[in-house]
Amino acid sequence: MITQIQTYIVDIPTIRPHKLSMTSMAVQSMVIVRITDSEGRQGIGEGTTIGGLAYGPESPESIKTNIDSYFAPYLKGNSVDNPRALMNQLNTLFRGNGLAKSAVQTALLDLRGQQLGVPVSSLLGGACHAHLPCLWVLASGNTDKDIYEAKKMIAERRHNIFKLKIGSRSVRDDVAHVAAIKAALGDSVSIRVDVNQAWTESQAALGMAALQEAGIDWVEQPTPAKDYASLVRLANKFNIGVMADESVADSADCFDLAARGFTGSVALKIGKAGGLFGALDAAAVCSAAGVGLYGGTLLEGTIGTVAALHAWSTLPAIEASTEMFGPLLQRDDIVKTPLNYHEFGVDIPATPGLGVELDEDKLREYARKN
């Protein structure tokens, strides 16, 4: 039985500014949820957004407030024997708030996994992978710095797939920046770009033609989120891959986009989908429709990242790789043992629950005091 639910807003500086088309961030703010049962076991979860309200409708403050004020009073006193049933009830009682629900669902699954002595992936059907590929985002905005950073990652065998955040400059300047990096790194390295909705369809056509010529593999969310028609036309027009991110949150969005004839890939994110269950429901729709899968991130810390990795590990194929690098972007961590990134990917823990444990001293250091 659930006896206590605690939430904390944790602010950890990033190793460098992370630039997107709509904002730049130098600190990542995460909401950490801790659920305690009557035997003293604890499950942890995380709700994180990129740049607060500059990116989407939830902020760290709203996530914490809604969990404390609405979700926690309902959940206290309930058994965690069936996390999906609890989440179905939350979805019936409370609309939206996908990031807050994802944090709570993660904590419920972590707690249930510990109770049963199995990893979260087992609660989701079982892992197909123990190690998944993981790309790195080059987002300094400086061509020489990005080339140096990428070469260092390759030499360390940490990453050999790279994504560049573009869209804040002119199309021609962005293409020149990306093409120079691709030329410097060579054909053995995969490069893709994320425009974060910054282009019109005509700008996207110009940019994608040049990016295709430069040898770039994917363009993520080139046009506004709800402009499904342009994504379909662009995917059909170019050989370069098109990926939908902000356009899709849940399985209904994936069905709508696929029904319109979309032939690209979709960035799955547990936060967008309201948790691991929703993300895997979306993956099932995409797979049935022949739409490729990509394990996406909202730059979560270790807790949110490992939750997503447990989900992605149950998918037989993730055609477009994953980007679960969020913990590496932060200067510090709030778990005792960080994830193991090596051989161009990351290991998925096989111990009960999420497989990570809070470092209480670090939590106190970085948690907001008011």
Distance CA 156, CA 150 (A): 10
8 Å CB contact between 109 and 87: no
State the alpha helices, DSSP H only, in 156-200.
171-185
Q: Give dist(CA 50, CA 67) in Å, integer.
A: 19
Closest CA to 32 of 257, 315, 303: 303
The rounded distance, in Å, linking the Cα atoms of 77 and 58 is 27
Q: Out of 165, 182, 269, 272, pick the active-site residue.
A: 165
Q: At what angle do helices 276-289 and 302-313 cross, to 10 degrees?
A: 40
Q: How far is CA 111 from the centre of its chain?
A: 22
Q: Please give the Cα distance from 195 to 243 (Å, whole number).
A: 10
> Residues 241, 264: contact at Cβ < 8 Å?
yes
Is 151 annotated in the active site? no
- What size, in residues, is the chain? 370
Q: CA-CA distance, 297 to 56, in Å (whole number)?
A: 14
Other CB atoms within a 10 A radius of the CB of residue 117 amount to 10
Q: Tell which residue, 330, 318, 225, 227, has the closest CA to residue 268.
A: 318
Question: Is residue 193 within 8 Å of 218, Cβ to Cβ?
Answer: yes
CA angle 265, 268, 273 (to 5 degrees): 135
Q: What tokens appear for 55 in the block?
A: 């990116």
CA-to-CA dists, residue 299 to 58, 118, 245, 364, angstroms: 15, 26, 14, 21
* Euclidean distance between CA atoms 201 and 223, whole angstroms: 6
H-state helical runs in 117-170? 120-123, 143-155
Active-site residue set: 165
